[in-house]
Amino acid sequence: MEESRLKLLGLTVLVVEASAVDVDFIKSMLKFCFACSVNIVLANTLADAQDLLKTEKIDVVLLDFNLSDSYGLDTIQSIRAKTKAPIVVLANDNDESLALETLKAGAQDYLLKESLNSRRLSRSINYVLERHNAYIIERKRLHLLEQREDFIATLTHDLKNPLIGSNRIIELIVKGDIRISQEEQASLLLQVRDSNNGLLSMIQSLHEVYQYEKDMQVLHLERIDLVVLSIKTLKEVIKLLTKIVRR
C-alpha cells in the first residue's frame, strides 16, 4: 500500500493553514497515514512559513490557498521562491481553470478540502514525491550531459593546440627556415616529445575515466598540487614560445 511505503520515508510536512479546525483535520489524517514517522511543522501565515523554510528541511508543503497575509497564486509563488519541495495546494474552490493556474505557478497538486480524506492525501503526497524525485534525477542527468560536453570541448582544445605547435616546430626544422644548431634542434625536439608525452598521459587518463564509468577499473585517487602543476606547465610553454620567437 502507498501508506506503508511512505512510513519508511520519515517525512517532514509543512502545513501552512490559517484555519485551526482544518489544521487539526489535516494533522489527524497525516498521523493516520504515517503514524509516528511523519514530522508535522505548522504555520498559519505566509511569513511564518517562509521563516520555517529557512531553518527546517521540508519534504512536502501542504498549502492553504488563502492566508491572512497572502492570497491565491501569489501564495504559491512566494513559497516556491523559498523551497524546491513539492507543494500540494488545499483549496475551497472547485475551479478547474484555477487548479491549472496553480500548477503553472509551481504547485504539484490541487486538492479540495471538502472532499479531502486520508487516502487522497497520502496518494497525493506519494505522487508528488515520486514526480519530484524523477525531476531531480532528470536534472542530474542533464547536468552530467552538460559537464560531459564541456569536458569534450576542453579536451579537444587541450589536445589540438599542443599538436599544432609541435607540427609547426617540426615543419620549420625540416624546411630549414630557422638557423639553429643541432643541439638547439635536439632541445626543441625533446620539448616536442615531452609535449606529446603529456598528450598521451591525457589520453590515458581519459581511457581510465571511460573504464571507471563502465565499472571496468577501480579508481585510485591521489593528491595533486594544482598550483605547482600550473606553474610547471606555464614555464614549459613560455620556454618553448621564447625559443620560437627568437628564431
Q: Do residues 51 and 68 share a domain? A: yes
For β-strands 60-64 and 109-112, DSSP reports them as unpaired
Cell (9 digits) for 80: 516556491
Query: Is residue 106 within 8 Å of residue 77, measured between CB atoms?
Result: yes
pLDDT of residue 177: 58
Cα gap 59→53, rounded to integer Å: 11
Q: In this structure, what CATH number is given to the domain that contains residue 30?
A: 3.40.50.2300
Q: How far is CA 100 from CA 7, 104, 207, in A?
A: 30, 6, 49
Decide if pLDDT at 45 tops 90.
yes
- Pairing relation of β-strands 66-67 and 70-71? antiparallel
Residues 115 and 214 in one domain: no
CA angle 161, 166, 168 (to 5 degrees): 95
Whose cell is 590515458? That residue is 204
Please indicate, yes or no, whether residues 99 and 151 belong to a single structural domain of this protein. no
Same domain, 35 and 60: yes
Whole-number average pLDDT of the chain: 82
Q: Which three cell numbers stand for residue 190?
A: 625533446
Domain boundary among 105, 139, 173: 139
pLDDT band at 215 (very low <50, low <70, confident <90, very high): low
Question: Which residues form the domain of 161?
Answer: 142-246
Instruction: Note whether 30 and 38 are within 8 A (CB).
Output: yes
* More confident: 53 or 244: 53
177 shares its domain with 206: yes
- Residue range 144-186, pLDDT digits in tens: 888 878 877 877 777 787 788 788 777 777 776 556 677 777 7
Mean pLDDT of the region 82-105:
90
pLDDT tens readout for residues 111-142: 999 889 988 998 999 899 888 888 888 888 88
Number of domains comprising the chain: 2
Domain boundary residue, one of 122, 139, 156: 139
Query: Using 50, 70 and 90 to split pLDDT, how confident is the model at 218?
Result: low
Q: What is the pLDDT of residue 2?
A: 44
> 99, 139 in Cβ contact below 8 A?
no
3-state secondary structure of 184: helix
Of 139, 161, 188, the residue at which a domain comes to its end is 139
Co-location of 111 and 180 in the same domain = no
191-201 pLDDT, tens digit per residue, is 888 888 888 88
pLDDT at 216 over 70: no
| Residue among 5, 242, 12 nearest 122 (CA) | 5
